[in-house]
Amino acid sequence: MQNIWLYLYFPNLQLDALLQQNPESNIHSQAYVILDEQTNQVCQLNHTAYQAGIRLGMGLGTAAMLKGDLQVIAYQEAITKNRLNDIAQNLYLVTSDICFFNENSLLLRVHNMLNLYGNLTSYWQVVQHQLLQQKVNFHYATGHSPLAAKLLAIRAWDQVTDNVDTIKQAIQNTSLQHTDLTTKAVEKLQRVGVHTIQALLKIPLADVAKRFDIEVATYIGKLTAQITHPVNFFHPKKHFDRVIELLYDIENIQILQAPLNQLLQNLEQFLKARDLLTQTLVFTLSQRDEKMIELNIHSQQGEYLAKYWAVLISLKLENITLSAPVFAIRLVVENSYIRTPDKSDLFAGKQGRLSRLQLISLLQAKLGEDAVSTPTLNNDYRPERAIQNSKRLAKSIQPFQLYALRPSFLLTPPQRLQEKISIAYGPERIETGWWDTKPITRDYFIAFNQLGQWYWVFKTPRGDWYLHGVFS
């Protein structure tokens, strides 16, 4: 089987990321460029800027003269890398061998996937569908070597074929300006009349090595697949880590919901494709000239759907006050686990819309994690200490093993009995607590008053009567 490589070139990754993260922005209608501050040159631009005459590699001064209302955004390598990594993560679901060939390009090894998809056309349809979902601009080409595919993709050939003759013909008509050769090497070749790949390939490889730099001979060898081109393949990350760079600073907490929902949609796609759930989201809000705010959102049950997480986040944001505008948001999910289907009883009847764990998550997001607790039995016979609130929430309802009849509501502290009652059951002697400073000696009774209310009362050794609890 002959080798086939697919090269994907993404010329506007940072602009595409900003457009996706800010769908209501005016990037389409207004001229935008990404400026590399180190070289003071335009490295990315949208269609409006291109129509105004702005080109890649143009200086900022020239670009500003061509378009007075030009919007300039500083190039950030981290945004480009993160977006390219996102694309690779999604492509990994349909193809196995992916290589980060450049800061804005991906190289796919195709020939080992054809047994799965049957033919190149079917394979490309699946890959193209995955790319279109990413909403990015891209150019592509196939080649019999990685450099051949790259050369054609950079010049926007945009064709997928396994016909070697067609690929070689397209390569021969390519200018040396599109190659990876240095400017010095290209100028040296042009001085002897070599301006295209076709003219360069007519020179025997041995003569190229003698007359020009070894770099030129190595490039020709890799281009024509006479020399193996080593590549390092990508291994997907097991955790989710995304950053949104906002086009403008946001001071209103409510407006933050839109970019947060965008991150949640990305997380849902990530988890759903891998059939995973997570219980903890960590958001980091980067404030202008202030400390970052970290939000930890917990779900006791584990979720993957964006709509459920959005409810928890909206409750959490009600307790947050911004001290400065937010210019970036990061979402990190490090711990996830395989989703297992919920098991429900066929005869349980109609249940509520929220499960117990979902209700706990909502209460914690609204009131705080310390405000929600679970009553648990304590190894103490004193009624005031028999039940304590635990911060460690149980995953399911654990029934209390109460052998004595006890009311569901206790008065704290017990109150003097002020009305006439009738004894129905008792006494029950409770005499304990001798090991600490709060011993008790009480005779408890179950009684009812004239209105039919059932009380839990006790009598002290001094003959005083107290009301301690009310039965429901």
| Domain range annotation of the chain | 5-30+69-223, 241-338, 403-470
Q: For the chain, what percent of residues have pLDDT higher than 90?
A: 28
For residue 408, the model assigns a pLDDT of 77
For residue 353, the model assigns a pLDDT of 64
Can you tell me the distance from the alpha carbon of 456 to that of 291, in angstroms, rounded to the nearest whole number? 55
For residue 434, the model assigns a pLDDT of 83
For residue 412, the model assigns a pLDDT of 84
Instruction: Tell me: pLDDT of 27 over 70.
Output: no
Can you tell me the distance from the alpha carbon of 412 to that of 179, in angstroms, rounded to the nearest whole number? 83
For residues 241 and 330, the answer to whether their CB atoms sit within 8 Å is: yes
Average pLDDT of every residue of the chain: 85
For residue 142, the model assigns a pLDDT of 95
Instruction: Tell me: pLDDT of 341 over 70.
Output: no
Which of 409, 375, 374, 415 is closest to 393 using CA atoms? 374
- 177-184: average pLDDT: 84
Domain 241-338 has CATH 3.30.1490.100: yes
The rounded Cα 77 to chain-centroid distance in angstroms is: 19
Name the β-bridge partners of 328: 245, 286
Name the β-bridge partners of 440: 432
For residue 161, the model assigns a pLDDT of 93
Instruction: Tell me: pLDDT of 91 over 80.
Output: yes
For the beta carbon of residue 255, count every other beta carbon within 10 angstroms: 13
For residue 24, the model assigns a pLDDT of 59
Residue 427: asked if its preceding bond is cis (omega within 30°), the reply is yes
Which of 243, 242, 247, 313 is closest to 23 using CA atoms? 247
For residue 255, the model assigns a pLDDT of 83
- 123-127: average pLDDT: 95
For residue 321, the model assigns a pLDDT of 83
CATH of domain 5-30+69-223: 3.30.70.270
Q: What is the pLDDT of residues 260-312, one digit of tens each?
A: 888 898 899 888 888 888 988 999 999 988 888 888 888 878 888 888 888 88
For residues 446 and 405, the answer to whether their CB atoms sit within 8 Å is: yes
Instruction: Tell me: pLDDT of 349 over 60.
Output: no
Q: Which residue has the tokens 């017990």?
A: 414
For residue 392, the model assigns a pLDDT of 64
Instruction: Tell me: pLDDT of 185 over 90.
Output: no
The rounded Cα 206 to chain-centroid distance in angstroms is: 52
Q: What is the pLDDT of residues 358-396, one digit of tens each?
A: 777 777 777 777 777 777 777 777 887 777 776 666 555
Can you tell me the distance from the alpha carbon of 95 to that of 114, in angstroms, rounded to the nearest whole number? 10
For residue 359, the model assigns a pLDDT of 74
For residue 246, the model assigns a pLDDT of 81
- 438-455: average pLDDT: 91
Q: Which residue has the tokens 């397209």?
A: 170
- 431-436: average pLDDT: 84
33 φ/ψ angles, rounded to the nearest 5 degrees: -135, 150
Give the pLDDT band (50/70/90) at residue 106: very high
For residues 251 and 287, the answer to whether their CB atoms sit within 8 Å is: no
Q: For the chain, what percent of residues have pLDDT higher than 70?
A: 91
For residue 447, the model assigns a pLDDT of 92
* Polymer length of the chain: 472
Which of 304, 256, 299, 252 is closest to 280 using CA atoms? 299
For residue 347, the model assigns a pLDDT of 60
For residue 399, the model assigns a pLDDT of 58
Q: What share of the chain is helix, strand, coil (3-state, %, to 5)?
A: 35, 30, 40
Q: What is the pLDDT of residues 187-244, one digit of tens each?
A: 888 888 888 888 888 888 788 778 887 888 888 888 888 888 888 898 887 788 888 8
Element (H, E) at 334: none
